[in-house]
Structure formats: structure tokens, C-alpha cells
Amino acid sequence: RTILKSLSPFFIGFVLAYILNMPCKQIDAVCRKSKYRFINNKSKAISIISVYVLMVLAIYVAVSAVVPALYRNVVDLYNNVPTYIEEFLTAVESWQKAYNIEIFEFNGASITKAFNTILGKFDIAEFSKYAKGVIGVTSGVINVLIGIIISVYMLIDKEKIKASVRRILLLI
């Protein structure tokens, strides 16, 4: 398990390099057709930089569209939970009265108060859980950043990597 965690940036880098290889090839081919010598000489670097800039822009657009909506929905859910509980309790109470059945006795005010007490307990006492979550997210972000760096090197040296893998496979 520890070995897999240590190798996860390499897996991320390989997957990114594999996914971004095709757009890199296409941009590289376009750059090689340029009449400017600088662009011809630096076509590989230009293609890799272009692909990563496009990837970062795509991620930025996706995150900027999703995160605000997700935040609003979570806040709305948190604010409306007492209303949902009251509606549920009212529905259960009316169902029990309509069918003259008493499955359980309850006091709607005490249930709402208990739920609000539970919601009020999310505080510093749970700091270790929050810290573990933050550490997990941080290590995931670091793994992705290292994976991006590895994928850049894999895209730059993909011919050498292919040749090395072929030699190793021939030895096996």
C-alpha cells in the first residue's frame, strides 16, 4: 500500500502524458510547418506548453462553474434541513392521523431541537478529522503536481522512454 502511494505521482504522470500525447503531436506537427525558424526549432516545447495551458484553462473553467454552484447548494441544504425535518414530521403525523395508526410517538419540537443541537456541535472538537481531511487533500494536490511535472518530462523524452521500454522488454 505504501509503495502504491509512493508510485501514485508516476501513475498520474503516465496517464497525463498518455492523454496529452495526441494533442501534443498535433500541435507539434502544426509548429513544424511554420515558416519561422524559431517555431520550428522549439516546436516540441511550444506544443507541450500549449497543451498544458489549454488543460489549465479547461480545469479553471470547469472549477469556476462547479464550485460556486456546489457551495450554494450545500449552504441551502444546511439552512433548509430544519424545514425538511418539520415537513417530514408533519407528513408522518398526518399519515398517522389519516390511517389512525401510531407507529411511534414523537414530539416535533424536541426532534427539531435535537437536530439543531447536533448541527451546532460541528466545531473545533472535530479538529483532528478536519486536519486529516486537509492533509489528505494536500497530499493529493502534491501528488497531482508531481504527476504533472513527471508527465512533462515523459512528453519531452517519450522517444527515449519508448526505446528504453523496448530494450527492457527484449531482455525479458
Q: What pLDDT, on the 0 to 100 scale, is given for residue 29?
A: 93
Lowest mean pLDDT segment, chosen from 53-62, 82-91, 92-101, 157-166: 92-101
Tell me: the pLDDT tens digits for 32-71? 998 899 999 999 999 999 999 999 999 889 888 888 887 8
Amino acid at 6: S
Burial pattern 98-130, b for ≥16 Cβ within 10 A else e, equals eeeeeeeeeeeeeebeeeeeeeeeeeeeeeeee
Residue 126 binned pLDDT confidence (cut-offs 50, 70, 90): low
Q: Using the predicted structure, report yes or no on whether residue 118 has a pLDDT greater than 90.
A: no
Taking residues 116-125, what's their average pLDDT?
Answer: 61
Cell numbers at 137, concatenated: 487533500
Q: What mean pLDDT value characterizes the chain?
A: 83
Q: Using the predicted structure, report yes or no on whether residue 124 has a pLDDT greater than 60.
A: no
Q: Hey, how many other C-beta atoms are within 10 angstroms of the C-beta on 133?
A: 10
